[in-house]
Structure 1
Amino acid sequence: MDKPVKISVHVNEDEWMAFKNYVLTKYSYHWKYLGEELSKAIKLYLSQVANAHTQENEHIISSLVLTKNEE
């Protein structure tokens, strides 16, 4: 694991409790694994968003190229 950094954020309480309960259920102890699982969730989110963002940009670029070629 990369060097961890301490963060402080505000999140929806129900979602946070659900996440903590997920970690507690998975490991039977959440404090040691909470940051690890949060890092995994962030990486997963970024990989999905990055792929969607890249596809969206490719579509926009393709549209611009098609439009320019039609001129």
Structure 2
Amino acid sequence: MKRRERTRHLIELGGLVLKAGLVELVDDDRAVLLGIMTEAAGKLKGDDREQALTLWRRRGRRAFDPPS
């Protein structure tokens, strides 16, 4: 991945953290944010991976396209 593409990708991922409201909810505590993401990564390594992905994907799609 080229540097410019990587930078854009990282900015977009940061935007998702903001869109989810996590920055405000944890008062911009980056240790808490990393802990949340580490917890999610652990869940994705477990037996409930597919169930978690399905649930989170559904919620994410709703967040992108809120009802009009």
TM class by smaller structure: 0.3 to 0.5
TM-score (structure 1 length as normaliser):
0.37
TM-score (structure 2 length as normaliser):
0.38
Q: Which has the higher contact order (CA 8 A, sep 6+)?
A: 1
